[in-house]
Each structure stands twice: as structure tokens, then as C-alpha cells.
Amino acid sequence: MDDKDIRILAIESSCDETAAAVMRNGREVCSNVIFSQIELHKLYGGVVPEIASRKHIEKVNQVIREALNDADCSLEDIDAIAVTYGPGLVGALLVGVAEAKAIAYATGKPLVGVHHIEGHIAANYIENKDLEPPFMCLVVSGGHTHLVKVIDYDAFEIIGRTRDDAAGEAFDKVARAIGLGYPGGPKIDALAKEGNKEAIPFPRAKVDGSEFDFSFSGLKSAVLNYLNQCEMKKIEVNRADVAASFQYAVIDVLTTHAICATKEAGMNKLAIAGGVASNSSLRESVRKACEKEGISFYHPSPIYCTDNAVMIGAAGYYSYIKGVSHGLDLNAVPNLKIGERL
């Protein structure tokens, strides 16, 4: 192994994925192991925190061992241990945090706590070797909808956020209402391809006083109302049209806000990140808008959009080379803010 290389062992357990990865110099993936619990949680129509935590503890060592094996290295070759310490489900986070602290302690390696969303943003560095801050990033997932100005690798400014539901949450709720099941995002994305996105004019919410904030609860209610009205009038619902029109309304708002924010910040780079960033229609919409405005568009492959440890290793690397190191008292912080340092 080349001594000058910096290898980070990264661990992620903030929700329902137990993941570990080895990253070289922040941008090169040596291994990427993800144990997804999604099949378990489907039985309950959403992630059950206690079940997620129990599954993490069962799988965490195997996932880490596999990540080291796949990277063809041992703990001795690792320079630092990075771990997600928030935001997320507290019980789930605690498994990764306690495990990472114990490994860092027993090996004498530095421990680097990583913000989950900053990890999602850093997922863009893996396949876009030329991407460097500053840039604008639209973060969209089951739990988060943020417009983040990435000032530097470790400096962020939130310029837009959802006032109610996250975009991914709205996808899940609408998917349930039209009988698609959990998780809703990929299912709506697939069904929408068969529908007419202009069939039903669902509303685009504006948030008073803050140009770049989002609100999706009104849109979700509009969809539910539409379904109720159809039922009362005994009109057969075209589910593909509902999926397409709902998705179009979400993506329209996300795209417009992201482009306006990028332009207003005087930036020429826009990235997307988070689970919903793998939605094919969202990618197409943002790509086209960027082309039109002369903005460079960046996005991770779907495998790096869902929760993974590679992105934690990427973000952890940039913290590590800046000298960030956490103590043995590092705790899980379920509501950790973007850019916050604890």
C-alpha cells in the first residue's frame, strides 16, 4: 500500500441501511458494502426505529469486515474512522457511533464524526473528479429537502428548506394513497412514465417571505382531495396520471428553486444529492434547466444517492485533512444541523 494515500474506514447507520466503506484520498472507492433492511420495514409501511436499531447491531461487524476485505486491507492500513453521528434515528445512529468509537479507541486511530447530509453532498465528489466548492446543492431525500450553498468542503449555508414534509415523505404518502406501497419514490417514478404529467394541475406551493423554502403538505393534501373527489363522483382514477402530475409538481418546484438559487448566488455549478436525487425525472428536469442556463450539472450514480458509507468516507476525508477529530464522548445527535460542529 502506498504510504502517502489516506484511507478512511467509514460507517453509516442513521436509518435503515447498515453500511461500511473504505475510501482512498476522499474520492476513490475501495469498497462499498450496504446491508439494506428495506424488506423488513416494508411489512410496516415505513422504517420502524427499534427494528432498524436491532438489525444494525446484528449486521454491523459483518458489514465492516466485508468492507475491509473488499478493499483488500486491514485496520492497520486505515488512517481514520469516519462515522455518521447525525441527523437520523437516534437508536440507529448510536450503533454506528458506539462501534466506530470502540474501533478507533482500540486501534488508536482518529475518529471523525460526519453529518449525514454533508455526506450526501460529498457523494458528488466521487464520480465528478473536477467538482470543487463553491457550488449549489439540492438535497432531497425521505427526511430532508434542502438547498445548500457549499462554500467549502466543510462550510455550508442553508438557503432553503422544507417547512413541512420532506419531498421523499410526500412521495411515500402519495404512493400509499394510490396503493403503490413503500418506498414510494421509485414506484411513483416508474408509474409516472406511463402517465400524462399535465393531466391534473396540482398546485405549486410558494412560501411567504422566503423565496427558496419548500412546502409539500399542501400538494399532498391536493392529491388526497383529488382522489376523494374522484371516489365520490365515482370517476375511475388514472393512477399513472396522478403519479405523473404529482411528481411533475414536486420536480417543477425543486428545479425552479434550485436554478434560481444558483443564479442568485452567482454560481455556475449545481449538484443534487440524497435518495430522491436518483429519481430519473428529477435528474432530467434539472439537467435540462441547467443546460438552458449554462450551469454545470452534477449528480451521483443511484448507488451513491441512497444511504451509503462511501459518502461518509468522502466527507470524513475532507474533515480529517483539516484536522477534525472527535473524542470518545462523541454522541449521536438526531437533529444535527447542516454545518453545525459538535
Partner 1 sequence: MKILAVDSSGLVASVAIVEDSNLIAEYTVNYKKTHSQTLLPMLDEIVKMTETDLNTIDAIAVAKGPGSFTGLRIGSATVKGLGFALDKPVIGVPTVEGLAMNLYDTKALLCPIMDARRNQVYTGLYRFQGHVLQVVKDQIPIAVEELIDTLNLLGEEVVFLGDGVPVYEDVIKSSIQVPYSFAPAHVNKQRASALAVRAFEYWNSGNYVSADDFVPEYLRMSQAERERAEKNISD
Please give the residues from 322 up to 341 whose contact with partner 1 meets the rule CB under 8 A. 327-332
Nearest to 339 by CA among 123, 153, 83: 153
For partner 1, the binding residue among 1, 5, 58, 228 (CB under 8 A) is: 58
CB of 313 to partner 1, least distance (A): 17
Stretch near partner 1 under the rule CB under 8 A, chosen from 92-100, 172-180, 241-249, 276-284? 92-100
Alpha helix stretches (DSSP H) within the chain? 38-42, 49-70, 90-107, 116-127, 167-177, 184-192, 217-232, 239-264, 280-293, 302-305, 310-321
Per CB under 8 A, 99 contacts partner 1: yes
Residue 232 touching partner 1 (CB under 8 A): no
Half-sphere exposure of 235 (CA within 13 A, CB side): 9
Of residues 25-44, those binding partner 1 (CB under 8 A): 43-44
Q: Looking at beta carbons only, is 61 or 229 nearer to partner 1? A: 61
Q: Which three cell numbers stand for residue 266?
A: 452567482
Binding of partner 1 by 102 (CB under 8 A):
yes
d(CA 102, CA 100): 5
Quick check: 155 binds partner 1 (CB under 8 A)? no
Instruction: Choose the stretch contacting partner 1; rule: CB under 8 A; options: 97-105, 149-157, 240-248, 287-295.
Output: 97-105
* Neighbouring residues of 186: CB distance < 8 A, sequence distance ≥ 6: 278, 279
Q: Is 87 exposed, middle or buried (0-12, 13-18, 19+ CB in 10 A)?
A: buried
**What is the Cα–Cα distance from 46 to 257, expressed in whole angstroms?**
28
CA–CA gap between residue 246 and residue 203 (Å, rounded): 9
CB of 180 to partner 1, least distance (A): 21
- Nearest approach in angstroms of CB 322 to partner 1 is 24
Chain residues binding partner 1 by CB under 8 A are 43-44, 48, 50-51, 53-54, 56-58, 60-62, 64-65, 75, 90-91, 94-103, 105-107, 327-332
